Amino acid sequence: ALILNVIDPKIGGVMILGDRGTGKTTTIRALVDLLPEIDCVSDDPYNSSPTEYDNMSDEVRNRLANSEEVPVVKKKVPMVDLPLGATEDRVCGTIDIEKALTQGKKAFEPGLLAKANRGILYVDEVNLLDDHLVDVLLDSAAGGWNTVEREGISIRHPAKFILIGSGNPEEGELRPQLLDRFGMHAMIRTERDPDLRVQIVDSCQKFADDPKGFRKEFLEDNQEFANQIIVARANLSKVKIPEGVTRKISVICSSLNVDGLRGDIVTNRAARAFCAFDGRTEVTDDDVKKVVSLCLRHRLRKDILDTMDNGDKVMATYETVFE
């Protein structure tokens, strides 16, 4: 789910729920190593792109329109952590009090959404975050711009990021309408196979003893993986999805009584991204099978009498429709 969102950020982010200590946060933080460096305007607080018009702040656009030279620097894709106690001002940005007092000017102090532009915004324990803050994050992620109205200042800046949330369902659920706004939903269970558990414990110990040596061991694999993601992003626009497959996806959503059309749209996008990652240009039934549960499991209506897992229910409907 994380890789597909990197290939096509329009999928709309990932919500990862699961048991305590299953490596959710570790996996998400490791994603940054797989991402290529990006070109940014060096003196711009919003990581603006020097060439892509949609990823420029208004200031950079004006400078380019006036034929000014903009200094370019390569940066790692930003990964911003949103702490649970963050206020709306810290997230969206606020008035720069220092400038107001020293120079008597109204100036804007960018927030976490500005830092996360063109990168990843990670919220640990998203189910414990204030609902209005989750609303702000989802609105910015969907629209790609953050507008701040403060003390007579109106400022907007690009805020295109992949929103990733994680949490433990035992500590509380997200409201269904907020859950629906996340493109994909992964459920992580504790590993029961003793051999795999031993392998994980050994890896943790190796990393603790020699972090640099451990990373070096996997450097080549990571580079290969990163190249595969870069190629998939470049080829995404060439991927076609047959009319019949799109229709079957809609039949699945309709059979499961999924509200709205987000389920259909996200499943189509995720299937295309998976196909591009696999190095092909036409989506097959198997691509849909790989992603359909991740895209739809959190969109089903809750039935307290139902003992069947939502993911299993989605897969059962897939088997019926695609047979």
Q: Which residues are known to be catalytic?
A: 262
67: left (phi over 0), alpha (psi -120 to 50) or beta: left
Q: Closest Cα to residue 13, out of 138, 135, 143? A: 138
CA 250, 255, 260, 264 dihedral sign is: negative
Question: What DSSP letter does each residue of 42-62 carry, written as one string?
Answer: TT-TT---SS-GGG--HHHHH
135 burial type by CB count under 10 A (0-12 exposed, 13-18 middle, 19+ buried): middle
Opening angle at CA 153, ends 149 and 156, nearest 5 = 60
| Single-letter residue type at 269 | R
Taking the C-alpha atoms of residue 282 and residue 195, their distance in angstroms, rounded to an integer, is 38
Evaluate whether 175 touches 119 at the Cβ level (below 8 Å): no
Strands (E) across 34-134 are located at 38-41, 72-75, 79-81, 93-95, 108-110, 119-124
Q: Which two tokens stand for residue 200?
A: 């994980």
Residues 269 and 283 sit within 8 Å (Cβ to Cβ): no
Angle at which helix 262-277 crosses helix 285-296, to 10 degrees, equals 130
